[in-house]
Amino acid sequence: MDILISSLVAGLLIGSVFALVALGLTIIFGVMDIVNFAHGEFLMIGMYTGILTVQVTGLDPLFSLPVALAVGFALGLLCYVGFVKYLLRGPMVAQLLGTFGLMLFLRNLVLLIFGSEDRGIHTGILVGKSLDLGMGVIIPATKLAAAVLSVLSFVAVYVFIHKTKLGKALQATALNRQAARYMGIPAERMNALAWGIGGATVTAAGALLVNFWSASPYVGLLFTMIAFAIVALGGFGSIPGAFFAALVVGLITEIPGIWDFFTYTFDNDWMADVPMNSFKYTGVYLTYFIIMVVRPRGLFGWKL
């Protein structure tokens, strides 16, 4: 029983972080219909930002969050103004290949600067601590903090988009770019804002993740894939959709734990021999694949 509850809790916690990862992707897609392949690389840069902040300032890793937000926002803006703006003039395929190139560029840049070694944070007030909920259910403090802060950030962005004038302008641009422009909304600046928020949220997620997830220049791809699956599941451009889809995806990655539960409940030998752990992310990709085949606009998507 403990393994079942542990797995479900772990799934929901990591799902909350995944939600913040996917948020930027869905905003950028919603506003400008561009798929950002470099999304995971932003997260990777967030991880390195976290590590560097800790190393340089000696502060606890949790305090690297504001730094990561600032770095991410600046990076998003820079990528838009210096690069993506020009891609928009080209055909769709140029946009796809363009962000793909951005991904390769960022990855190799980090590889050049930091090398390919895995790095992690091994100190901090939360590292190594955990909450014991009884019955063998144990929640590592770093994960809980990451999940809570992710949800808070997510809600903040949601409120910003729905309650502020700027946010509404962003939403309007996403709904109908032409009409928004007629209303005097500067579409160009909205694009830049979308990239800024997109960059900031995913970089923040990286800074939260690095407390328990080791960083390497190659870590981005996994998260790009996960974010794609979440955005497909939740509907392209849908923010609440992304949140719930992220929780579902978080639970999907915990299928091995649920499998273990049944293995030990039935004390089943063949079930114990199935290497479920090796297929942790297969479920996520499979979900993505099925949605793409059955309903390419995403499960709850409203954009065509």
Partner 1 sequence: MMKRFSMGLAWCAALMLIAGGWLVPSPAAAVKEVKIGVIYPLTGGAAAAGRELRAGAELAAQIANEVMDGIDMDMAKKAGIQSLGGAKIKLIFKDHEGNPTLGADLAKKLILDDKVDGILGCYHSSVTKTVSAVCEQYGVPMINGSSTSPALTKRGFKWFWRTTPHDKWFTKDLFELLDGLAAGKVRGVSGVKKDDLQRLAAACERTEWGAHVADLIKTLAEQYGYDLKKSILYAAKSADLSSEVRSLKAARPDVMLFASYTSDAILMVKTLKAQKAKPKLIWGQDAGFEKPEFRQTLGDNIVGILTRTVFLPKVADIKPVAGQVNQLYKAKTGHDLGGASARAFTGVQTWVYALEKAGSVDHAAIQKACNTIEIPGEQLVVPWAGIKFASTGDETGQNVLGSGLIGQYQKGKDGKIGLEIVYPFDLATADMIYPFPGW
- Contact between 288 and partner 1 by CB under 8 A: the answer reads no
Going along 85-140, which residue ranges are E strands?
A: 130-132, 138-140
Length of the chain: 304
* CB closer to partner 1, 25 vs 252: 252
**Single residue of 18, 37, 212, 288 touching partner 1 by CB under 8 A:** 212
Alpha-carbon distance of 135 to 5, in angstroms, equals 9
* CA distance to 80, 190, 195, per residue, from 184 (Å): 21, 12, 20
| Three-state DSSP class for residue 215 | strand
Site size for partner 1 (CB under 8 A): 42
Q: Are 241 and 235 in contact (CB under 8 A)?
A: yes
First to last CA, the chain: 43
- Contact between 125 and partner 1 by CB under 8 A: the answer reads no
- Contact between 274 and partner 1 by CB under 8 A: the answer reads no
- Closest contact distance (angstroms) between CB of 97 and partner 1 is 26
Q: Which stretch binds partner 1 (CB under 8 A): 59-67, 136-144, 158-166, 284-292?
A: 136-144
Strand partners, 132: 138
* CB closer to partner 1, 195 vs 261: 261
Q: What φ, ψ does residue 303 adopt, rounded to 5°? A: -95, 140
- Contact between 272 and partner 1 by CB under 8 A: the answer reads yes
- Contact between 216 and partner 1 by CB under 8 A: the answer reads yes
Strand partners, 139: 131
**Single residue of 16, 26, 49, 142 touching partner 1 by CB under 8 A:** 142
Going along the chain, which residue ranges are E strands?
A: 130-132, 138-140
Residues 60-119 that bind partner 1 (CB under 8 A): 115-118
Residues that bind partner 1 (CB under 8 A): 2-3, 6-7, 10, 115-118, 120, 122, 127-130, 132, 136, 138, 140, 142-143, 212-216, 218-219, 222, 253-254, 256-257, 260-261, 264, 272, 275-278, 280
